[in-house]
Amino acid sequence: MKLLLTFLLSFLLILRTKPQNNFACHKISPETSQYPFCNLSLSYADRAKDFISRLTLQEKVQQLVNHAAGIPAYEWWSEALHGLSTLGYGVHFNTTMPGGATSFPAVILSSASFNETLWLKMGQVVSTEARAMHNVGLVGLTFWSPMLMYSGIPDGVVAKRCQARIHWWCLTYAVNYVRGLQEVGVNGVPTCANADLLKGAIRDQWNLDGYIVSDCDSIEVYYNRINYTATPEDAVALALKAGLNMNCGDFLGKYTETAVKLNKVEESVVDQALIYNFIVLMRLDFFDGDPKLLQFGNLGPSDVCSGEHQMLALDAARQGIVLLDNNGVLPLSKSTTKSLAVIGPNGNVTETMIGNYAGVPCQYITPLQGLQKYVPTAAYEAGCSVSCTNETHFKAATKVGSTADVVVVVLGLDQSIEKEELDRENLILPGYQEKLVLDVANATNGTVILVVMSASPIDVSFARNKSKIGGILWVCYPGQAGGDAIAQVILEDYNPAGRSPFTWYPQAYVDQVPMTNMNMRAMPVETFLEEPTVQTNSKFDPHGTLSTDASTKKYPYANNQAIDAATLNCTNLVLVLVIGVRNNGPRSGGHVVLVFWKPPNTTEVSGAPNVDLVGFSRVEVEEGRLRM
């Protein structure tokens, strides 16, 4: 059952199905510019009210859904989770904007960088490219992004669309990404029918001045699947009275007019719902005429897929990559690595790298292509597909790997294994992938580097115990520049500092945890469930927790300073910590400082966290230097 509520603060986009030159309130159209809703001296609310007052009930109803009526039709639904996406109906790529748009890594990888500045810059790039495409009629000005949801189970796939399982971390990502975009069922009640949530919390307490939109089947779900209301008109009335402004889908479009005529809901409630939608469009200058003559009118094709934007996509991938394990092998020497083999089903993939909620990227750099920039003679053999249902091509793969100094095995998952509405059943590599790794490792006299593509954890304990496997990298779905990022990390051009956004539990853990258990914290009656962020675990041996990574030992802390919290008046709950980070390694690199708090007597309070993340900062430190 999906009862997901997406709410946007103020970054909204109206999308048109094809380029057009008929702009609302265009100066060359006196028949419309004379109306009050075109009067820029009036408030947005007054302009919106005037516009809505000129619509019939039938016209109003069709503005409550994402594909709104009009000539041309309005399309409100577009996605920009990690770049302009073709999911939804609002973004259109054609020859007017050749080359697509910048595609950043999957959100869960970017969040692993713990870099607030990076998240802000990513949002700014997406916003710039959206405005540029809007100016040529390919997109509008509202995107339903980012998505904020906590990942509750290790084999679930919601992580591809959200940030992490830690509240503060998730919140900080959302704040910065939304800033970048904008700059310049609760308590037994379905979310879309919950007035306490929509009006009470979101509208009144959080002071939302944007609009609230349902997921595409939410209203239909609580009417038809869980029978929360007797009729579809009752379902519509509940949603509108609760404070919903728009329905992704067609449910409100089908039943609102009848609901008004049956006196289930007043037309004034429909008007109030629409007010917020059109206030947003007024604020975004949609009713101010030709966008090329407005504030961002100078943006165009040259501002999409620019060199600067593509470099940021590369940097985002590099900053998120997590070094799960390193036996002193990584990084490899560029000068001494003469022969290299790339093996595995994800070794030369393109679309897999951009994950879900993606669009048309500027370009693809596959892992093979990235590594061939360093070792042009690098050979490739897939060995099998991602599902890896047979060993037919294993002999060819081991033959390629047997003569190489270094074998980079790139495997993991793709959207045939994990995606929205397709959770995994276990944490094991699909099919015979694990055997492929072991066969290659046994056949080569060189070093094996394991590169894992996935948006969720995989049991890689078998590789950690194999002496020939010198290092393990988790790269998620690294975006259009993923191949370059992987190669630069492996061949000493980038020192990875990403922190794993989830714990890498062994399969034995999942065998004891029901997929239906969504608790974020351990409960006394559930002895099998350990707090995900705890560094030690007597029952299982989790790998890659938030508070550990393979390079931590190079960055000891020194000269730390903190006030005495015991004597502090904590009215504002703000503590200042000064932490010194020293780089004892041989190379400059980044380091993520994580601050946790541990409440007292957690065993006495049901559901209390063992530890919780309350702050973080990513710092760059030169070799041998101390940075405060």
Looking up residue 393, the CATH number of its domain turns out to be 3.40.50.1700
Q: Smallest Cα–Cα separation from 366: which of 477, 227, 223, 505?
A: 477
Cα distance between residue 6 and residue 202, in whole Å: 11
The residue behind tokens 């002999």 is 395
SS3 320: helix
Looking up residue 149, the CATH number of its domain turns out to be 3.20.20.300
Half-sphere exposure of 546 (CA within 13 A, CB side): 22
196 and 246 in a single domain? The answer is yes
The answer to whether the CB of 24 falls within 8 A of the CB of 84 is no
- 58-72, 211-225, 511-525, 606-620: which range is least confident on average? 511-525
pLDDT in tens, 173-186: 566 655 665 554 66
Q: Smallest Cα–Cα separation from 474: which of 162, 108, 161, 169?
A: 108
Average pLDDT over residues 607-625: 82
Between 601 and 452, residue with greater pLDDT: 452
Please report which confidence band the pLDDT of residue 532 belongs to, taking 50, 70 and 90 as the band edges: very low
Tell me, what amino acid is at 371? L
- Show the beta-strand stretches assigned E in 426-543: 447-453, 469-474
Q: What is the pLDDT of residue 525?
A: 43
428 and 360 in a single domain? The answer is yes
Domain final position from 473, 494, 515: 494
Burial category of 447 from C-beta neighbours within 10 Å (exposed 0-12, middle 13-18, buried 19 and up): buried
Q: What is the pLDDT of residue 540?
A: 42
pLDDT at position 605 over 80: no
Query: 98 lies in a domain?
Result: yes
Average pLDDT over residues 136-145: 83
Q: What is the pLDDT of residue 173?
A: 59
Cα distance between residue 183 and residue 124, in whole Å: 7
Query: 596: which strand partners?
Result: 613
pLDDT at position 539 over 50: no
Average pLDDT over residues 376-380: 97
Query: 526 lies in a domain?
Result: no
284 and 395 in a single domain? The answer is no
Average pLDDT over residues 352-378: 95
The answer to whether the CB of 233 falls within 8 A of the CB of 264 is yes
SS3 169: helix
pLDDT in tens, 552-587: 456 777 766 665 555 556 556 667 788 888 888 888
Query: 448: which strand partners?
Result: 407, 469
Query: 547 lies in a domain?
Result: no
259 and 343 in a single domain? The answer is no
191 and 327 in a single domain? The answer is no
Q: Which residues are catalytic?
A: 215
- 128-142, 377-391, 461-475: which range is least confident on average? 128-142
191 and 325 in a single domain? The answer is no
- DSSP H or E run through 494: none
Cα distance between residue 553 and residue 339, in whole Å: 31
Percent with pLDDT over 70 in the chain: 79
Q: What is the pLDDT of residue 167?
A: 56
CA 25 distance to own-chain centroid: 36
What 89-92 contacts at long range (C-beta under 8 Å, 24+ apart), as own/partner pairs, is 89/15, 89/17, 90/13, 90/15, 90/16, 90/139, 90/140, 90/142, 91/15, 91/133, 91/138, 91/139, 91/359, 92/17, 92/18, 92/138, 92/139
pLDDT at position 138 over 70: yes
- Show the beta-strand stretches assigned E in 182-338: 212-214, 246-247, 322-326
pLDDT in tens, 294-321: 999 999 999 999 999 999 999 999 999 9
Q: What is the pLDDT of residue 460?
A: 93
Q: What is the pLDDT of residue 186?
A: 63
Q: Smallest Cα–Cα separation from 113: which of 623, 589, 602, 601?
A: 589
Q: What is the pLDDT of residue 182?
A: 55
Strand order in the sheet with 557-562: 557-562, 577-582, 626-627
Expressed as residue numbers, the domain containing 200 is 8-302
Cα distance between residue 235 and residue 243, in whole Å: 13
368 and 250 in a single domain? The answer is no
* Number of domains making up the chain: 3
Percent with pLDDT over 90 in the chain: 47
Domain final position from 466, 494, 522: 494
* Cα distances (angstroms) measured from residue 138 to each of 72, 78, 447: 13, 11, 48
pLDDT in tens, 443-489: 999 999 999 999 999 999 999 888 899 999 999 999 999 999 999 99
The whole model's pTM is what? Answer: 0.85
- Mean confidence (pLDDT) of the chain: 82
Cα distance between residue 371 and residue 394, in whole Å: 22
pLDDT at position 17 over 50: no
Treating both helix axes as pointing N-terminal to C-terminal, what angle do 307-320 and 482-490 enclose, rounded to 10 degrees? 50
264 and 338 in a single domain? The answer is no
Query: 426 lies in a domain?
Result: yes
Q: Smallest Cα–Cα separation from 480: which of 268, 264, 304, 617?
A: 304
The winner for highest mean pLDDT among 144-158, 487-501, 572-586 is: 487-501
pLDDT at position 217 over 80: yes
Torsion of CA 524, 528, 532, 538, to 10 degrees: 100
Please report which confidence band the pLDDT of residue 226 belongs to, taking 50, 70 and 90 as the band edges: confident
Q: What is the pLDDT of residue 267?
A: 97
- 51-55, 147-151, 295-299, 391-395: which range is least confident on average? 147-151
Between 234 and 177, residue with greater pLDDT: 234
**612 Cβ partners below 8 Å, 6+ apart?**
166, 167, 168, 533, 596, 597, 598, 599
pLDDT at position 7 over 50: no
325 and 297 in a single domain? The answer is no
Query: 425 lies in a domain?
Result: yes
Query: Structure tokens of 51?
Result: 């516009």
pLDDT in tens, 325-346: 998 899 999 999 999 999 999 9
SS3 200: helix
Cα distance between residue 485 and residue 483, in whole Å: 5
Pinpoint the alpha helices (H) of 472-555. Answer: 482-490, 507-510
425 and 334 in a single domain? The answer is yes
Please report which confidence band the pLDDT of residue 76 belongs to, taking 50, 70 and 90 as the band edges: confident
Q: Smallest Cα–Cα separation from 334: which of 482, 487, 469, 492?
A: 492
Query: 535 lies in a domain?
Result: no
471 and 612 in a single domain? The answer is no
Please report which confidence band the pLDDT of residue 414 belongs to, taking 50, 70 and 90 as the band edges: very high
- The β-bridge relationship of strands 340-343 and 322-326 is unpaired
Domain final position from 273, 302, 331: 302
Cα distance between residue 589 and residue 113, in whole Å: 13
Query: 128 lies in a domain?
Result: yes
Cα distance between residue 488 and residue 332, in whole Å: 10
Between 166 and 110, residue with greater pLDDT: 110
Looking up residue 565, the CATH number of its domain turns out to be 2.60.40.10
* Cα distances (angstroms) measured from residue 454 to each of 93, 149, 496: 27, 18, 18
Report how far apart the first and last C-alpha atoms of the chain are (Å, whole number). Answer: 48
Query: 546 lies in a domain?
Result: no
Burial category of 179 from C-beta neighbours within 10 Å (exposed 0-12, middle 13-18, buried 19 and up): middle
173 and 56 in a single domain? The answer is yes
Q: What is the pLDDT of residue 333?
A: 92
